[in-house]
Structure 1
Amino acid sequence: MAGHSIPHFHNDLGVSTIRLRVKEFMCTGAKPPFDHPHIFIDMGSDNEAICSYCSTRYVYDAALPGVCAPPECELEAAA
Structure 2
Amino acid sequence: MAHGTTPHFHNTEGLRQIEVGSKEFQCVGALPPFDHPHVYLDMGKDSEIVCPYCSTHFVFNSRLAAGTASPLSAIYHADAA
Q: With structure 2 as the length reference, what TM-score do the two structures score?
A: 0.87
Matches within 5 A, 1:1-79: 5-64=5-64, 67-78=68-79
Q: Deviations over 1:2-59 (max 9, x none)?
A: 9x71111000111100000000000000011110001100001000000000000000
Counterpart CA distance in 2 for 1:71 and 1:18 is 9
Gaps of at least 5 residues in structure 2 are none
Aligned pair count reads 77
Gaps of at least 5 residues in structure 1 are none
Identity of aligned residues (%): 48
After TM superposition, the runs of 4+ consecutive aligned structure 1 residues lying more than 3 A away are: none
Coordinate RMSD, CA, aligned: 1.9
2:51 counterpart letter in structure 1:
C
Q: How far has the Cα of 1:76 moved from its partner?
A: 1.1
Secondary structure, aligned partner of 2:73: helix
Q: How far has the Cα of 1:64 moved from its partner?
A: 2.2
Counterpart CA distance in 2 for 1:64 and 1:22 is 8
> Which protein has the larger Cα radius of gyration, Structure 1 or Structure 2?
1
Counterpart CA distance in 1 for 2:7 and 2:71 is 15
Counterpart CA distance in 2 for 1:13 and 1:69 is 12
